[in-house]
Each structure stands twice: as structure tokens, then as C-alpha cells.
């Protein structure tokens, strides 16, 4: 089976990139696998792909940033999608050409806009699997409307939590589409797990507002007031760095809280700590939570939708606290800081419970879904209307539906134009 993953930018950092590289590498042990990156902005990716996984880009921004077609807005990629401003007629064209010419048995889209391309433009012979790494409720209404129309042409839609899978089944009503939760996996650690003796709390991820590192810093001030020999280390980079640094200075925590920059891989840093911390306002999954737990750290996290509550067993391998409550977060940290035995016991439980996110069980589920989708598609058991039929079905259903039909037609036109060049 040949599997092709279509991803926004494999050369950046983030949870979707990490889990795509992990899954692709595991599948490459038995299948022909490639990662197709729509965009590329640097010579080498931050993460190293498995040696048997092919990696190629459709638009190289180092050379094509000023391409005339890249200055025109995308027509197929939904305008309500968060990344729309990074897409263009050029990406529309290149994605359409890639899908038309692919020899993959199954293509896996990894974000909503790319899933729309996949649903509308993939050839009949190709099984179409859309992945959702965000939550349905996080999508704006206009995007949900566009996805409801397009996603009906997928074979499989996966979410990273059971709660989000239930939301898609209940709210989107996608007849004939198999909707299943497929959690992200974290590779088996190669280093010994942390023993809970280090006086270090660790947080990691993109430094963006939704991750609420400011709340972790404020909560940690309560720890420092009672236990000044403890440290908080925050790994990552992003737009919030200057603001977080200013907050550390304002609270007088320069000797206790450190912005460490990005670290890849993170395993060597996790095992230097004793407690993990995550304070997002929402978290579709929580890769860093699983990473920390697999390295022996109990994690204190906000109980935000949806991931943390499906990963952490409150009071057993970590703590769940209300969203936005720095006082409750600080109190939960202090409970673990004060009690060496509790910290050690929860760390051992974290290692044990997080094994369900090991590559073995997750990859087995993913492989089964992909193989069954390919078998169903090749056997003709998944009916998919032609492009004209899709357009007819959408006419008269409102502005968003007309936009989607126009986008599909425009994509087809650009593909034809591309062939003539």
C-alpha cells in the first residue's frame, strides 16, 4: 500500500508535523510512504523524517515567494480556514496537479483546507482520509459550513479525541463517511524515565497566546514563594516570547523561570524535570502532555476541551485544574512540589498509563483504517458523485455552498491550465 500525507509545511514545528512524521515513519516499516509538503521555507526540516519516508514540497517559498500566481488568493482552500492567507492560486494549482498525478492508494490530509482539496480533487481511485487536529467547535461557522459540504466526499475522517469524534458525528452528519478517533502517538523513549528528584517543572510548545504560558509563570510564582530552589523551564519559540520575558521580569522570577528556546528532540529535556505543565485554553490533543508522561513526569494541566481530560487521570498520573485559574494551577503544582513520594508515584503511573499512546497500538489502528479505506474504495463500495453532480447538489443551498462549488470548478480549470503549460 502506498500512503501519501499532504501537510501544510513539513519544514516548521508543531504537533501536527510531529505526529505526521511519527506515523509516517512507523508505517514505512511495511508500506511505501511519502510526505508532501505544500510549502517549504528552508533547506532542511526541523524534524528528521524516517529514512524510508519520501519528502517533497509543492511550492518552495525560497524561490517562488513572488510568483505571480502566489500573489492571488486561493480559490479551493477555504477562505474561512486559519491558514488561507498563506495559500494562493499557485498552491491551488500545485495541489491539484499532485492529486491528479499521485500513484498513492490513499492520501491523508492533515488540516481542514487540505482535506477540502482532497475531498474535491482526488481521483476516484484514491482513498481519501481527512485528519482533524483541531476541534470542530474551534472552527468558525463559515468553515464548518464549507467542511460539511466537502467532507461528505471523504472515505474516513479521524479526530484526535473521542469527544471530538462524537461532535463530528452529531453535528456534521456525514453519510457514508467513517468517523473515528485516532490519537497521536509518541515514540518509545530511549532514555531512562525521570525519577522525580529534580526540582524542575517543564513546559514546552509554541509560545502563542492560547497556550497560556503567562498563567504557568504566574502560578509558578506561588511555588517560588514557598520553595525558592525550584525552577520552571519553558521550551519553544513564538510570538509570545517578549511578553513572557517581560512577565518574568515583572514578577521578579529571573532566577527561577527560564525561556529555553526550542529543543528537538525534547526527550532529553523532559527527563531533567519532575513535573510537566500545560495551561492551554483549548487543546485538541496534547502531544507535550503525552511526551512528558512517557518520560516519567506527572502533568498539571488545565481541563480544557478536549485532549487533557482523555490523557490525564486526575489524581493518579497528574492533575486537572479549571481553565484560566492561576491560583488553582499553582496549588496543584505545590501539592506535587511538597510531596516527594506523591510525585514519584504519579510519575510511575504516568509512564504506565501513557503506553496507550505508544506507536504500536496507534499505528495498528491507523493501518487498519487506511487498509479498509483502500479496500472499500477499490471495491467500489464508497459511492462518490462526480464533480458535476457535486456542483448540482450544492446549487441553491446558500452563499457558502455556491462558493464551494465555484472553488471545485476553479480547481479543475487550473489543473487543465497547468497541463497546457
Tens digits of per-residue pLDDT, 350-397?
999 999 999 899 999 999 999 999 999 988 765 333 333 223 222 223
User: Maximum distance among all alpha carbons in the chain?
Assistant: 71
Domain ranges for the chain, please list them: 2-185+361-420, 200-357
Q: What is the phi/psi pair of residue 267, to 5°?
A: -55, -45
- β-pair partners for 181: 159
Instruction: Map 266-312 to HEC letters.
Output: CHHHHCCCCEEEECCCCECCCHHHHHHHHCCCCEEEECCCEHHHHHC
Distance CA 314, CA 319 (A): 5
The predicted-structure confidence for 156-187, as pLDDT tens digits, reads as follows 999 999 999 999 999 999 999 999 999 998 88
What does DSSP assign to residue 137? G
Please give the pLDDT value at position 322: 98
From the list 171, 269, 219, 185, the residue with the least C-alpha distance to 15 is 185
Please give the pLDDT value at position 242: 97
3-state secondary structure at position 177? coil
pLDDT bucket at 405, cuts 50 / 70 / 90: very low
Is residue 258 within 8 A of residue 232, CB to CB? The reply is yes
Cβ neighbours of residue 108 closer than 8 Å, sequence gap 6 or more: 3, 4, 5, 6, 129, 130, 131, 370
Residue with cell 505545590: 334
Distance CA 415, CA 421 (A): 10
Give the N- to C-terminal CA distance of the chain in Å, as an integer.
Answer: 32
Mean pLDDT of the 103-119 span: 98
- Which of the listed CATH numbers 3.40.50.2000, 3.40.50.300, 3.40.50.10700, 3.90.76.10 matches domain 200-357? 3.40.50.2000
Mean pLDDT of the 68-86 span: 97
DSSP string, 191-259: SPPP-S-S-EEEEES---GGG-HHHHHHHHHHHHHH-TT-EEEEE--STTHHHHHHHHHHTT-TTTEEE
Please give the pLDDT value at position 382: 58
From the list 108, 107, 120, 102, the residue with the least C-alpha distance to 158 is 108
pLDDT at 411 over 70: no
**If you classify domain 2-185+361-420 with CATH, what class do you get?**
alpha beta
Please give the pLDDT value at position 380: 75
Mean pLDDT of the 96-123 span: 98
% of the chain exceeding 70 in pLDDT: 90
Per CATH, 2-185+361-420 and 200-357 having the same topology is answered yes
Mean pLDDT of the chain: 90
Distance CA 234, CA 241 (A): 10
Mean pLDDT of the 94-123 span: 98
Please give the pLDDT value at position 186: 86
Mean pLDDT of the 396-403 span: 35
Residue with cell 468553515: 143
Please give the pLDDT value at position 217: 98
From the list 288, 284, 238, the residue with the least C-alpha distance to 267 is 288
Mean pLDDT of the 266-294 span: 96
pLDDT bucket at 407, cuts 50 / 70 / 90: very low
Question: Pseudo-torsion of CA 134, 138, 143, 146, nearest 10°?
Answer: 60
Can you state the angle between helices 89-101 and 399-420, rounded to 10 degrees?
70
The predicted-structure confidence for 212-259, as pLDDT tens digits, reads as follows 999 999 999 999 999 999 999 999 999 999 999 999 999 999 999 999
The predicted-structure confidence for 120-154, as pLDDT tens digits, reads as follows 999 999 999 999 999 999 999 999 999 999 999 99
Amino acid at each position: 500500500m502506498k500512503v501519501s500525507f499532504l501537510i501544510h509545511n513539513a519544514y516548521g514545528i508543531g504537533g501536527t508535523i510531529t505526529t505526521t512524521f511519527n506515523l509516517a515513519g512507523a508505517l514505512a516499516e511495511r508500506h511505501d510512504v511519502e510526505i508532501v509538503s505544500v510549502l517549504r521555507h528552508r533547506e532542511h526540516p526541523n524534524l528528521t523524517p524516517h529514512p524510508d519516508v519520501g519528502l517533497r514540497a509543492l511550492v518552495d517559498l525560497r524561490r517562488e515567494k513572488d510568483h505571480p500566481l502566489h500573489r492571488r488568493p486561493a480559490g479551493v482552500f477555504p477562505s474561512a480556514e486559519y491558514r488561507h492567507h498563506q495559500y494562493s492560486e499557485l498552491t491551488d494549482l500545485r495541489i491539484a496537479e499532485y492529486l491528479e498525478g499521485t500513484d498513492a492508494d490513499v492520501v491523508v490530509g492533515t488540516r481542514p483546507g487540505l482535506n477540502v482539496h482532497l475531498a474535491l480533487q482526488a481521483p476516484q481511485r484514491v482513498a481519501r482520509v481527512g485528519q482533524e487536529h483541531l476541534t470542530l467547535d474551534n472552527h468558525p461557522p463559515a468553515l464548518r459550513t464549507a467542511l460539511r459540504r466537502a467532507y461528505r466526499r471523504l472515505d474516513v475522517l479521524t479526530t484526535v479525541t473521542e469527544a471530538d469524534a462524537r461532535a463530528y458525528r452529531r453535528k456534521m452528519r456525514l453519510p457514508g463517511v467513517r468517523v473515528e478517533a485516532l490519537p497521536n502517538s509518541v515514540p518509545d523513549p530511549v532514555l531512562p524515565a525521570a525519577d522525580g528528584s529534580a526540582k524542575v517543572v517543564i513546559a514546552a510548545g509554541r509560545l502563542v497566546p492560547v497556550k497560556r504560558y503567562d498563567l504557568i509563570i504566574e502560578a509558578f510564582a506561588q511555588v517560588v514563594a514557598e520553595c525558592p530552589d525550584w525552577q520552571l523551564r519553558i521550551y519553544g519559540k513564538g510570538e509570545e516570547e517578549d511578553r513572557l520575558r517581560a512577565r518574568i521580569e515583572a514578577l521578579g522570577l529571573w532566577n527561577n523561570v527560564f525561556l529555553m528556546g526550542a529543543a528537538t528532540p525534547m526527550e532529553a529535556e523532559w527527563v531533567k524535570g519532575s513535573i510537566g505543565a500545560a495551561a492551554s485554553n483549548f487543546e485538541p490533543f496534547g502531544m507535550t502532555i503525552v511526551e512528558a508522561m512517557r518520560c516519567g513526569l506527572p502533568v498539571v494541566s488545565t481541563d480544557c476541551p478536549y485532549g487533557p481530560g482523555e490523557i490525564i487521570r486526575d489524581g493518579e498520573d497528574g492533575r486537572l485544574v479549571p481553565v484560566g485559574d492561576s491560583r488553582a494551577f499553582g496549588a496543584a503544582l505545590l501539592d506535587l512540589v511538597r510531596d516527594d513520594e506523591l510525585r514519584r508515584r504519579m510519575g510511575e503511573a504516568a509512564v504506565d498509563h501513557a503506553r496507550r499512546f505508544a506507536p504500536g497500538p496507534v499505528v495498528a489502528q491507523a493501518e487498519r483504517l487506511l487498509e479498509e479505506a483502500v479496500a472499500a474504495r477499490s471495491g467500489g463500495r464508497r459511492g462518490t458523485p462526480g464533480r458535476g453532480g457535486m456542483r448540482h447538489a450544492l446549487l441553491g443551498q446558500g452563499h457558502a455552498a455556491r462558493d464551494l462549488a465555484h472553488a471545485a470548478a476553479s480547481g479543475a480549470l487550473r489543473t487543465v491550465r497547468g497541463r497546457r503549460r
